[in-house]
Structure 1
Amino acid sequence: MSEEPILAVEGLTIDIPMAQGTLHAVRGIDFELNRGETLCIVGESGSGKSLTSLAVMGLLPKRLECTARKLAFCGTELQGLPPSAMRQLRGNRMAMIFQEPMTSLNPAYTIGDQLAEALLLHRRVGKAEARTRAVELLGKVGITAAESRLSQYPHQLSGGLRQRVMIAMALMCEPELVIADEPTTALDVTIQAQILRLLVDLQREMNMAMILVTHDLGVVARVADKVAVMYAGEVVEQGTAREIFENPSHPYTQGLLRCIPVPGRTKPGEHLGSIPGIVPSLIGKVEGCAFRTRCDLAESACAKPIPIHETEGGHSWRCIHSHMDRMPA
């Protein structure tokens, strides 16, 4: 019998009521994540990546309408779970590293108080034990003089240190699932590489499942086991990282890959690819393939319901074109 997935999502839909109509921000997405795996959700800004993460954590604003056929963590259906039960999971067995650490950390509380809070809420420990755990994790995430940092406030730390504090905070209760929402966006390139290496090392050490939300395919290539490519609220392609990079089957995925240089193949000064046009509005009725206005392979059939192709290995893509008739990447 196969192991039950840590996270199973089927038909997740998020609608946002607006004055002009309903904005269909996330449209019926499916994915699964197993223990120890890293799933990278990749796509342009506005594709629904962060909303998907917030839906899993139960942190969507109340005015948003969220439904799913299944939204289960370790077999527990999260939809309709009482707020008290959700609070027992959130920060304990499932945790999130937010995109901007300066706005995610509370400027009025010390680093030590914010780190200890989760452990004091979810474990029967005293303040001294929580403080010891905080120092241990700050050291594990590469912060020197960890004990002295506990009395500091967020504004006294650099961006890279604040992000490391956020990672330590997420790991205080040794969660089974960690969601990292573009955790390196505001950092310079060198610090980005350090943070990513740190996340991967900690994930392997603790055997956690991790969802990494990003728009950077270079990051995806380095850390992902599975990849879900999102466009205009839909998962248009998903599979293992090897399948996505070696055999991209959706025109949007192919376009994304043409936009990044390939070591050893892209010559200095050579022009990189680009995807023309803009993401269409998702307000009101959305039919057919949302990418068709930007796609070189678009046909009249693209305005109709789009089939999903799937290989035996689980590589799937949403397009009228199959492997046999698609344009090579």
Structure 2
Amino acid sequence: MTSPLLSVRNLKVDIPSGSGTLHPVRGIDFDLHRGEVLCVVGESGSGKSLTSLSLMGLLGRTLERSADRMEFDGINLLGASGRQMRKLRGARMAMIFQEPMTSLNPVYTIGDQLIEALLLHRRMPRAQARARAVELLEKVGITAAASRLGQYPHQLSGGLRQRVMIAMALMCEPQMIIADEPTTALDVTIQAQILRLLYDLVREMDMAMILITHDLGVVARVADKVAVMYAGELVETGTVAEVFDQPLHPYTRGLLDCIPQPGKTGRGEPLGTIPGIVPSLVGQVDGCVFRTRCTQAGPACLGPIPRRSRDGHLFRCVHTDGYAPAETKAI
């Protein structure tokens, strides 16, 4: 098998505070290959966006990032200087941020914001860069693309702004793109169009994509692999079929129970819920972080939680017996 484009081992993010150190991201391991779509799912506050920002080197100065390994195409992202990261961002790794309404600068035209990456990374003549911008706006489904270059963000709808953000991320044909809940502010019809567009572009351009979402319906449509995140940890990782058909972690099962199933969930029938709240991650975090909300919790959940494997389907739980440890594998 080819070496991964992105390889992450034991990624942690810590936030010092007056009451102690907050640990919102803990022990993240995964690999991402070219042409692959990895969906990271979990409820709000589980650490999905912080994980993506740490990969891009966009964390605030007060946040502390560490990892045993974090390599992108053989480049050590942990040891990269600010100048090296600026050369990577936008050129070889790009990000579509969560909120299209505020991600564009309101005082610059769409054209100026689109061509900036090409002028910076490729030293391309302005006229050629504008032609590339028109080409990509058309590719993402924006009509009258040339006339849009002179418009400002407030003159575009939310759906059009999101398409501009996608075009901006693709300007330099990056090898990897991170999409952080790119359809949150859009209506259902536009959501489906944007997701299909991203999926088709990944396949067409042979990019790798990390798609962050809390919508399991989205995951079922576009993912190759799924990583379920809870309270800063990846608690289960596998293919879509493995995670959806045979979920091995109680949290994953809880998420799936919250979704109405055609032919099984009757009209007016209550959906499943996950009781309780996410525990505090300030100070020392021991045992299974899901134990306060889990119906299977017992004394063993207070100790170390091993990572286990079922034919490559990885999970963290002490209550699923008969599976081999997976301490040396990425989850």
Aligned partners of 1:40, 1:184: CA distance in 2, in Å?
Answer: 14
Could you tell me how far apart the structure 2 residues matched to 1:258 and 1:102 are? 32
For residue 198 of structure 2, what is the aligned residue in structure 1?
199
Residues 42-57 of structure 1 mapped to structure 2, 5 A cutoff: 42-57=41-56
Whole-angstrom distance in 2 between the partners of 1:274 and 1:69:
36
Alignment of 1:99-138 (within 5 A): 99-138=98-137
**2:244 maps to what in 1?**
245
* C-alpha contact 1:42 1:227 (8 A) present in aligned 2: yes
Is 1:316 matched up with 2:303?
A: no
Q: Corresponding residue for 1:230?
A: 229
- More displaced stretch, 257-266 vs 201-210: 257-266
Report the counterpart of residue 91 of structure 2 in structure 1.
92
CA distance in structure 2 between the aligned counterparts of 1:323 and 1:101, rounded to whole angstroms: 45
> How far 1:324 sits from its partner (Å)?
5.8
Letter in 1 for 2:255: L
Deviation of 1:263 (Å): 2.1
State the shift of 1:264 in Å. 2.6
Pairs within 5 Å for 1:1-329: 2-312=1-311, 314-322=312-320
| Root mean square deviation, CA, Å | 1.0
List runs of 5+ in structure 1 lacking aligned partners: none
Query: Deviations for 1:81-111, whole angstroms, at most 9, x for unmatched residues?
Result: 0111111111001000000112110001000
Per-residue deviation, residues 122-169 of structure 1 (Å, max 9, x unmatched): 113100000000000000000011000000000110000000000000
CA distance in 1, matches of 2:65, 2:175: 24
Provide structure 2 residue ranges, at least 5 long, that are not aligned to the other structure: 324-331
User: In 2, are the aligned partners of 1:4 and 1:75 still within 8 Å (CA)?
Assistant: no
- The separation in 2 between residues aligned to 1:18 and 1:186, in whole angstroms, is 31
CA distance in 2, matches of 1:191, 1:115: 22
Q: Distance in 2 between matches of 1:84 and 1:171?
A: 21
Alpha carbons 1:249, 1:323 under 8 Å: kept: no
In structure 1, distance between residues paired with 2:217 and 2:321: 25
Q: Distance in 2 between matches of 1:102 and 1:192?
A: 15
Deviations 1:266-286 (A, max 9, x none): 222222100011000000111
- Give secondary structure in 1 for the equivalent of 2:10: strand
Q: Percent identity?
A: 71
Structure 1 distance, partners of 2:284, 2:75, is 33
